[in-house]
Copies of this chain bind each other. A is one copy, B any other.
Amino acid sequence: MFEAAELGRTLDKSDYKEIVPELRTSLLDLQQELGNCDFPVILLISGADGAGKSETVNILNQWMDPRWIETTAFDEMTDEERERPAFWRFWRALPPKGRIGVLFGSWYSCPIQQRIEDRFDDSELDLMLRRINIFEKMLVDDGALLIKLWFHLGKEMQVKRIKKLRKNPATRWRVGERDLAALKSYDRFREVAEHVLRQTSTGEAPWMIIEGYDERHRNVTTANHILEVVRKRMTLDPMTLRGTTSAWRMPHERDKTILDFLDLSKSLEKKRYRKELAELQGRLSVLSRKARQRKVSTIVLLEGWDAAGKGGIIRRITGAVDARSYRVIPIGSPTDEERAQHYLWRFWRHLPRAGRFTIYDRSWYGRVLVERVEGFACEDEWVRAYREINEFEEELTEHGIVLVKFWVHIDKDEQLARFKAREETSFKQHKLTEEDWRNREKWDDYAHAVNDMVERTSTEFAPWNLIEGNDKRWARVQALRILCERLEQAL
């Protein structure tokens, strides 16, 4: 795989001098155009030590306008990063649409390094690579242009380079112990790297290997490659990116949904409710303190019909947890910073620190509910969202987060009654909008969307809990009980 990058290609000085001015102009033009484009460019920089990674990134920053490039290197994790799933730090660094983000090391450094040091085996490595493939596909599906550059330097060249650096007193300091160690484990590094590149060179995000030895050749090759692929991406018709057909079977109107099988007559009489609620809140209070101590984070998300009583459940939960330990995130329309990112970005940013609760009032499932039904997302987008969401939730739970998902169900009559009651109560009037009435008209479409959602995203690690909500007391007690049980299992 690397042989083609060990040919000793060079570019002589006079050619370089001739090429560079034009190249710079093209790069600046490109950047300017990119500012008006609806996709981000994510440039991953990986490769062998000494193959000129940082030098090339510096040159790119010099040739382009550094104001519109964000370069991020991933050194040691900060403690805020350590308290979240591994990919949180990468989500933080993703560039918004119209910008270039240079990610140094990125999500490849750690798997390669860990494998070389035998801190995990081949199958563990492959699991991580599979996750990377899915993550990258998700970004590309959303429109991102992912450019993955691998800077290669053959062993001989590596030796030559170190000798050269050592000879010159001005550069001698640059040869550290790390370089010598890297040289020692070179063969192992090459082997692992080749495996990683093979497994992750996909149709949507192929690797480009760049011969690292000759600086001029390396710079020009890199710049040309970037120019070429960004230009190509710009000429793509947005419609070809948004596939509109899929093998998705649209539900028939008369199909029953999973919601039809819920027994909405379930209820709880007032006295028993009070007793059970007090008991459950006591339990939850103890559990939340234990979770805080043990640094186990919890995410609760609530979906459900308008007026289904999500807010009431949330208040029964927060009522039992210390205010310093939870945050409620109401999901409405995204801010413009959120709109400039992948749709999952706004949820990643609110992930709790260790030991805390985050409660999402509506959630990432908007993608397969309101966005699907109202056509805000095209079929292609919401169809693939099921898988993206499952991946996301798997990452959360693998990090040890307790994830509890509720759909609060009521029937159409109950909703109408509540809407009417709201119109009459002064301080709840604000809760009723025209949109609520409009959504009501699409009841069946939503029911089918819920059915598909549960079918596709109720997983072993993050099962859906359908709550019968016609009786508010029943619903609250049910939700609290499930939450307590899940926490007890986890703690």
Give the contact-size bracket for chain A. Answer: 35 or more
The CA-CA distance from A58 to B326 in the complex, in Å, is 11
Q: Is the CB of B323 within 8 A of A29?
A: no
Known contacts A80-B78, A323-B57, A336-B336; decide if A314 and B427 are in contact (CB<8 Å): no
A66 touches B426 (CB 8 A): no
Given A78-B78, A311-B65, A71 and B324 contact (CB-CB distance below 8 Å): yes
What 1/0 flags go to A409-434 for Cβ under 8 Å of B? 00000000000000000110010000
Q: Any chain B CB within 8 A of the CB of A272? A: no
A10 CB to closest chain B CB, in angstroms?
A: 24
A258 interface residue, CB < 8 Å from B? no
Asked if A79 lies at the interface with its beta carbon under 8 angstroms from chain B, I say yes
Q: Shortest CB–CB separation between residue A192 and chain B, in angstroms?
A: 24
Cβ of A327 within 8 Å of any chain B Cβ, yes or no, is: yes
Q: Whole-angstrom distance between the alpha carbons of A104 and B330 in the complex?
A: 22
Give a binary string over A61-77; 1 marks a CB under 8 Å from any B CB, 0 the rest.
11001111111110000
Asked whether B427 lies within 8 Å of A28 as measured between CB atoms, the reply is yes
Q: Which residues of B contact A54 (CB under 8 A)?
A: 322-324
CB of A318 within 8 Å of the partner chain: yes
- A232 CB to nearest chain B CB (Å): 20
Interface of A is mostly: helix
Q: What is the 8 Å Cβ interface bit string for chain A, positions 96-126, against chain B (1 contact, 0 not)? A: 0000001010000000000000000000000
Residue of A72, A314, A324, A328 with most chain B CB atoms under a 10 A cut-off: A324
Check A66–B314 contact: CB distance below 8 A.
Answer: yes
Whether A318 lies near B62 (C-beta < 8 A) is: yes
Residue of B nearest to A319 (CB): B62
Instruction: List chain B residues, Cβ under 8 A from A335.
Output: 335-337
* Inter-chain contacts of A336 with B (CB < 8 A): 335-337
**Residues 4-34 of chain A: 1 if any B CB is under 8 Å from the residue's CB, otherwise 0?**
0000000000000000000001001100100
Known: A61-B323, A78-B80, A322-B54. A66 touches B337 (CB 8 A): no
> Taking the nearest CB of chain B, how far is it from the CB of A147, in angstroms?
16
The answer, yes or no, to whether A471 is at the interface (CB within 8 Å) is: no
Name A25's contact: one of B25, B70, B79, B427 (CB within 8 Å): B427
Closest 10 CB pairs of A and B: A73-B324, A71-B323, A67-B330, A66-B318, A67-B328, A57-B323, A61-B323, A62-B319, A66-B328, A29-B427
The residues of A with any CB-CB pair to B shorter than 8 Å are: 25, 28-29, 32, 54, 57-58, 60-62, 65-73, 78-80, 102, 104, 311, 314-315, 318-319, 322-324, 326-330, 335-337, 361, 426-427, 430
